[in-house]
Amino acid sequence: MCLDCNCGQPVAAATESPRHLELGQRLLLHNDAEAAANREHFAAAGVRVINLLSSPGSGKTALLERLALELAPALPAARHPMAVIVGDLATDNDARRLRAAGVPALQITTGQACHLEAAMVHRALHELDHLGHPLAGLELLVIENVGNLVCPAAFDLGESLRVVLLSVTEGEDKPLKYPATFHSADVVVISKVDLAEACGFEAPQARRNVARVAPQARIVEVSARTGEGIAALLAALGLERVPVAG
């Protein structure tokens, strides 16, 4: 359970606040040191690493399946296009789904913790290596964070890029409701755009809301189902689009 947000804990008394704040600061400092070590490790392996954040049900896993399909034919046999570290409170459903799609995936089950931390990712890297998927053999590593638009924003994992999903089914105002998460984004993906008309989603308003809190973020509109916007997303991630036969 988290020391920064006290998830799973009863509300602390006012007299305990300074101690809780100090513990939270120590946790973040320790995490930042672990993240720096991860970043050096990633750079040495020459792998691009994405920290993928969103609320539950925004389409993270479907999007990763589509990205894997697009990247698959491009690389030599000795190099796998991507692997995924999946964070969830419980179950390994998403990891099993990705493995069924041919993507090496490792599950981190966090229990009551509502975010991933750099040390968790570091341990998962060793497990991936033992499973035959070393960093040096990957083009892309995606860390699919716990579905949550609050805590994950505070934790650097050593990533190259932070990507935040906003599904059209969530409404245009999510960036204003969760500004810290969107402010931390390098790329904001508006997902499930094939459902925008049915949901009455106003894409121009959503883009304006993102720009208010994250003017630095590149915005890409995609549909994992139809493939719309996937080429633009790959470009935003610094990855070359690879046509898929058939």
Q: How far is CA 82 from CA 75, 143, 194, in A?
A: 10, 11, 25
The yes-or-no verdict on residue 78 having pLDDT over 50 is no
| Pairwise pLDDT comparison (13 vs 197), residue with the higher score | 197
pLDDT digits (tens, 9 = 90+) for 193-233: 999 999 999 999 999 999 999 999 999 999 999 999 999 99
pLDDT digits (tens, 9 = 90+) for 216-227: 999 999 999 999
pLDDT for 5: 57
With beta carbons less than 8 A apart as the criterion, state whether 35 and 28 touch: no
pLDDT digits (tens, 9 = 90+) for 127-174: 999 999 999 999 899 999 999 999 999 999 999 999 999 999 999 999
* β-strand pairing of 161-167 with 105-109: unpaired
Q: Which domains are delineated in the chain?
A: 14-236 (3.40.50.300)
The overall pTM is greater than 0.85: yes
State the Cα–Cα distance between residues 128 and 121, nearest whole angstrom.
Answer: 10
Tokens of 102: 């041919």
In angstroms and rounded to an integer, the radius of gyration of the C-alpha atoms of the chain is 18
The yes-or-no verdict on residue 77 having pLDDT over 60 is no
